[in-house]
């Protein structure tokens, strides 16, 4: 089968404002969005912005993720939107981007290889409701469309990921047959209550059949309940070729395929504008560029040792594998999560990550303080600029605008970036912070500025660490942060329509091979779930048993939620919020200058 051709360019959309208002409401789960609303003001994050970009392109409009996040209103974004065809001519590459053949290993692939354990079945998964009557033939045609459109789903690693000099290969469309990857289960007569256990059982069997060496990166399990009831389609995909954003792309594609089948048409999907192979080539070139090599000292400074053991640097390796015994999940209810993810970031013109990491840094300082008191020492002792420093490895979605003419809004693959961030909060009043007082606001402004100072949202660290032979050795020798943090964004849950996420299953969380060592002493993966009762925040904590005691991690998790609740309390104060230096164009203005100015202005008013 030939590689799918690009669709005929669509005509310009007739009413960009109307389309964008509809897309904002769709992606953010709102009934209606006014033209003067901004995306971030409504609580949108960068992952959701990518969804807007993808769906806008399908509607005939082209906007960038940066456009969506920075526009002050729907009207302003519509003014920057361009017709689909015009952008293809002006910004698209003169030479078609490379889709097939040898694949340059990316930084995240290097990160995984360095863990040094088995990864043949390292996967993420998604379970969706299927329409009544969606049978084996429908599933095969749908999965084949996914395989033929998204090149990375066909990836092969003939020598395995850890082999020296191993180079993955992307074969042509048609080289992988959906029929060989699909498990069809007759589930007629099974109740809704029986489906989750049966689905998990079949997914465990499917997971064991993944094989990167043989190009089996995907397995599909269809639980077919016949013409009268919704079934389930479970996709188990090797993590090397999928991430949190990819699942949103695939979920949209499944809806598109089902609509085509219902109309008697063969499913046809638009290929990615920027294929993963082309992106990987860009990363290799970027890793040795001048603008990246100048970042090396910055990253080395971030990884310098802190006097405190917790949330400092540890030598790589030597950690136990993940285990169910060392994992637990806590959930914040809608009364806290709603304002936490919408109102609170707006206090400082910030993002959800600003808020979550502020609370995490304060929680770590709180645990340090408690540990110091138990040991009879002064709480929070430090030296110089290391006082109150908390080092965290932060995961990002990695789809950054580092090259002109790229559009990753429809590219399926593992783009994740991992980069260290040193959050220096000094000696905040922790009791005041827990009460939601000014200490929370001051910490939030400091963390926001530290994250804004990270070039291109951290993509350079992985490039210099894994793809640059001159800088990689020094950065590797400096070790890794003890804490890993990942916010996966928002996921709609609890819907009962076809292709909604099915109940009883986690959404796109990593499922590691037995024996794969942990990358950090403790890791927290958080995700927001939009259900019928509102927005909730779930946080899964995992720790290496040979690095930290379980009760200590439980205490840290509870302290984090305490600080998150305090953020919401603070957000309700009339004096909450304020500008930070990155919000103004004045050179050399400090946070103290801005605080003084706002205080004086408030007194005059």
pLDDT (tens digit per residue) in 536-570 = 999 999 999 999 999 999 999 999 999 999 999 99
Among 273, 308, 329, where does a domain finish?
Answer: 273
Closest CA to 156 of 108, 218, 243: 218
Pick 49 or 355 by higher pLDDT: 355
How far is Cα 207 from Cα 119, in angstroms, rounded to an integer?
12
363/460 same-domain check: yes
Integer Cα distance of 249 and 244 in angstroms: 9
- Verify that 191 and 293 share a domain, yes or no: no
Query: What DSSP designation does 73 have?
Result: S
Pairing of strands 231-238, 123-130: antiparallel
pLDDT tens-place string over residues 503-539: 888 766 788 888 999 999 999 999 998 888 889 999 9
Residue 159: pLDDT band (50, 70, 90) is: confident
Q: Rounded CA gap, 509 and 587, in Å? A: 43
**Rounded distance between C-alpha atoms, residue 48 and residue 70, angstroms:** 13
* Residue ranges making up the domain that contains 223: 101-273
> What pLDDT was estimated at residue 317?
80
Judge whether 66 lies within some domain.
yes
Alpha carbon distance 457, 576 (integer Å):
26
The confidence band for 386, taking pLDDT boundaries of 50, 70 and 90, is: low
The pair of structure tokens assigned to 194 is 């029986």
- H/E run at residue 483: strand 483-492
Q: What is the mean pLDDT of residues 118-133?
A: 95
Specify the DSSP class assigned to residue 119.
Answer: -
**Of residues 375 and 265, more confidently modeled:** 265
Q: Are residues 198 and 338 in the same domain?
A: no
Q: Nearest to residue 441, comparing CAs of 573, 342, 588, 596?
A: 573
Q: Give yes or no for residue 603 having a pLDDT over 90.
A: no
Residues 294, 243 share a domain: no
Q: Quick one: 266 and 339 in the same domain? A: no
Q: Does the residue 225 lie in any domain?
A: yes
Give bridge partners of residue 101 from the DSSP assignment.
Answer: 170
The full DSSP string for 294-327 is: TTHHHHHHHTS--SSSTTSEE-SS-PPBP-GGGE
Where residue 74 sits, what CATH number does that domain have?
1.10.1200.10
Do 353 and 424 fall into the same domain?
yes
Domain count of the fold of the chain: 3
- pTM (two decimals): 0.86
Asked if residue 141 is part of any domain, the answer here is: yes
Specify whether 188 is located in the same domain as 138: yes
Residue whose structure tokens are 């304020």: 578
Check: CB of residue 155 under 8 Å from CB of residue 170: yes
User: How much is the pLDDT for 79?
Assistant: 82
601 pLDDT above the threshold of 50: no
CATH code for position 334: 3.30.559.30
Question: Is residue 86 predicted with pLDDT exceeding 60?
Answer: no
The CA-atom distances, in angstroms, between 241 and each of 5, 261, 381 are 22, 26, 44
pLDDT band, residue 307 (cuts 50/70/90): low
Instruction: Report how far apart, in Å, the C-alpha atoms of 565 and of each of 197, 370, 522, 576 are.
Output: 35, 19, 22, 15
Q: Is residue 9, in this structure, part of any structural domain at all? A: no
| pLDDT value at residue 58 | 77
Q: Please say whether the beta carbons of 319 and 494 come within 8 A.
A: no
Is the domain of 25 the same as that of 120? no
Helices (H), 117-221: 136-149, 195-208
- Give dist(CA 380, CA 370) in Å, integer: 9
């Amino acid at each position: 089968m030939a590689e799918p051709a690009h669709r005929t360019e669509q005509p310009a959309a007739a009413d960009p404002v109307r389309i964008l208002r509809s897309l904002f409401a769709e992606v953010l789960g709102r009934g209606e969005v006014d033209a003067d609303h901004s995306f971030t003001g409504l609580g949108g994050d960068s992952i959701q912005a990518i969804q807007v970009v993808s769906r806008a392109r399908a509607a005939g409009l082209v906007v960038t993720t940066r456009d969506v996040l920075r526009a002050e209103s729907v009207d302003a974004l519509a003014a920057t939107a361009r017709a689909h065809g015009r952008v293809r001519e002006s910004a698209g590459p003169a030479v078609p981007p490379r889709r097939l053949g040898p694949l340059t290993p990316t930084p995240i692939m290097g990160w995984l290889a360095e863990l040094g354990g088995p990864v043949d079945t390292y996967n993420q998964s998604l379970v969706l409701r299927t329409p009544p009557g969606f049978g084996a033939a429908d599933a095969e045609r749908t999965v084949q469309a996914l395989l033929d459109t998204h090149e990375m789903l066909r990836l092969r690693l003939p020598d395995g990921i850890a082999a020296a000099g191993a180079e993955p290969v992307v074969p042509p469309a048609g080289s992988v047959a959906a029929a060989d990857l699909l498990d069809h289960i007759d589930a007629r007569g099974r109740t809704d209550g029986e489906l989750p256990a049966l689905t998990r059982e079949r997914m465990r069997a499917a997971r064991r059949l993944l094989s990167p060496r043989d190009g089996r990166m995907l397995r599909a399990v269809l639980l077919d309940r016949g013409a009268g009831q919704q079934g389930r389609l479970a996709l188990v995909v090797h993590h090397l070729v999928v991430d949190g954003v990819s699942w949103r792309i695939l979920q949209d594609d499944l809806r598109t395929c089902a609509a085509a089948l219902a109309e008697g048409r063969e499913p046809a999907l638009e290929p990615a504008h920027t294929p993963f192979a082309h992106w990987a080539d860009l990363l290799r070139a970027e890793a040795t560029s001048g603008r990246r090599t100048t970042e090396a000292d910055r990253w080395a400074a971030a990884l310098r040792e802190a006097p405190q053991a917790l949330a400092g640097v540890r030598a790589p390796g030597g950690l136990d594998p993940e285990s169910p015994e060392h994992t637990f999940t806590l959930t914040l209810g809608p009364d806290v999560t709603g304002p936490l993810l919408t109102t609170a970031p707006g206090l400082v013109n910030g993002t959800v990550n600003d808020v979550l990491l502020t609370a995490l840094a304060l929680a770590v300082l709180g645990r340090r303080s408690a540990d110091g008191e138990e040991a009879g020492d002064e709480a929070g002792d430090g030296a110089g600029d290391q006082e109150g420093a908390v080092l965290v490895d932060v995961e990002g979605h990695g789809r950054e605008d580092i090259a002109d003419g790229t559009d990753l809004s429809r590219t399926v693959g593992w783009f994740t970036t991992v980069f260290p961030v040193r959050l220096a909060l000094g000696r905040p009043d922790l009791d005041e912070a827990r009460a939601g007082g000014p200490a929370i606001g001051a910490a939030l402004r400091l963390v926001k500025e530290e994250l804004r100072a990270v070039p291109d949202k951290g993509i350079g660290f992985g490039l210099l660490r894994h793809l640059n032979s001159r800088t990689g050795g020094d950065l590797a020798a400096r070790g890794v942060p003890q804490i890993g943090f990942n916010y996966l964004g928002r996921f709609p849950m609890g819907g009962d329509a076809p292709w909604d996420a099915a109940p009883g299953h986690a959404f796109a969380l990593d499922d590691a091979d037995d024996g794969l060592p942990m990358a950090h002493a403790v890791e927290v993966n958080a995700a927001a779930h939009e259900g019928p009762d509102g927005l909730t925040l779930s946080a899964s904590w995992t720790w290496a048993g040979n690095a930290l005691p379980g009760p200590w991690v439980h205490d840290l998790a509870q302290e984090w939620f305490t600080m998150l609740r305090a953020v919401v309390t603070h957000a309700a104060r009339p004096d909450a919020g304020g500008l930070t230096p990155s919000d103004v164009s004045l050179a050399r203005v400090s946070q103290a200058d801005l605080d003084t100015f706002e205080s004086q202005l408030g007194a005059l008013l």
